[in-house]
Structure 1
């Protein structure tokens, strides 16, 4: 049985929280509720107390509560915090470190145990506001999760995106998340080596060659592998991502040669290697020690090949399960299959290169021994578990 803390904010969809609580209770979840002051103008605390079977908290300074520091005890109690509806205001608060009421304070104090979901609902113009989009992207980098709003007729008498997702669908998303993250330790005692992110190849002290890789897929795989019981080493190029807290060994590199050197410090003792990094194929043959000044002439830079890390891993492979990625702009399956064979891989994960920097991905898992498996578009965090579970099933 999971503990779910529902945060109800002052959006007009606050009344729908009653049905969410009712559905969760019927499915056997423990539910507690925090309401903002504005939410109490839309639906009464008594209604949600009756449904949740727990006292509803509305005031951070309420006198008649237990002796525990309540925002800490609630944050520790919750396995999942679901804010529904999540308004423009609450997203802005959390994204900018504002904790001025009980709900925002509990979310801010939530430990690493609790996963926080925001079920978005607001006016369509607010939903399209670039400030909201920036705040959402910022929070996603810190592993906050979002349930997108739907198209529909809104309280402001317009039709657009901003309607709270149907209550039963919100609960289904939470249940699916719990199912995926209540996982067997299929990688227990396995050493897993993962490369992630881009590399940077210097041209001069200012400029470098690189690519659009964000590292999100590789970091998601590292987090998932660790949660499945693995001893994970993550070797990463430069990214804007937070270092995963659940992995034992994180190594930061910049260039392809540095990644090559680090990979082969660990590869021999690795059980599963996943080459997710977008490694530069070429580097400048000569790096200028000073900034190259602009002139009226064209600039020619002579490039030389970087070492092929994945090919070398395939040549040296003994007992390891070796998994590569193929990011292609055309002939996806054909090119990925050729790479699978040429580099002596056990599996290759094929995806469209245009998804770089996206939070979602759809991929095809290919192998010389098994039928291909397609994975529909989903968040990279979820996709990582789906891929590792399928590979664990097949390998």
Structure 2
């Protein structure tokens, strides 16, 4: 009888032991996952914070890590986190997005189609810089909705340049903004600053649609929308955002759609060319330097009345090649009084050896009021202001 009691007790007790063991194992697995998740978040924030604080592009070994973090930021826009040009657009995009952008497309398609042509040099430049920070290339279209890619754009509240930074934000990002210089209008420096600012916002939001809304209205408004809606999904919290911020996201999605598809290609008027630099193009060639060329280049900050064509002549460099390394050189130098000169390392040595002679000839050119030499730059002067008719 006692033996039967012990057998029955064992039968009842063993499952309880296994159940408790399973619970403990499940707890340990869950705790291990949570610990790993926390470690990953801490590492992620440390890497992004280092880039933001140092105010320069990350080391190459960090770029791949950052690109893996940021690629998931479009999870609420595309089914596979990112856009695949080989597949139909409608099969990839969130259904909410298609309805969301119809009004904007109806009014702005023609201008965006034209921008595909004249904006290519700008897009190449931004792509090149964003790649250095591990950012998705789709984000270049933010400059379209911010400023129409214009360096001269200024909002009524004082935001300026292609990325529409307010003066205090620009200074926090390492740009010089004072009475003499305004680096918000320097395409290179402001795009580097934009990359760091986008990483800063992504560190807080972990979603690019929310970042775009925050870029427009500030992160505080996005966090308020998250709290009120109880969601971090843009489509769920959008109506808790200001209308302007919602529209900013709509503009971004619509711009991406136009730029990445062939919609309306036959409607493009090749004779119409918008020039966002007051009548001057950034540069005619659609090419920029390659990664290999960038690795073998040297950079020197210069100031003074330098002229790109004369520099190119002295260092025996074709003007087209010079413009690839220094798009918008004369314009940037004219606006800011100083700019970064980028040249192949051997050409930089030639420039440094002759920079005073070069500057002297550039100044003499201005004093003589001469025409630019035959190998003139590709930045023609703005159209002369029409003379006012005399009152009779």
TM-score by length of 2: 0.24
Structure number with bigger Rg = 2
Q: Which has the higher helix share?
A: 2
Tell which has more relative contact order, 1 or 2 (C-alpha 8 A, sep 6+). 2
TM-score by length of 1: 0.24
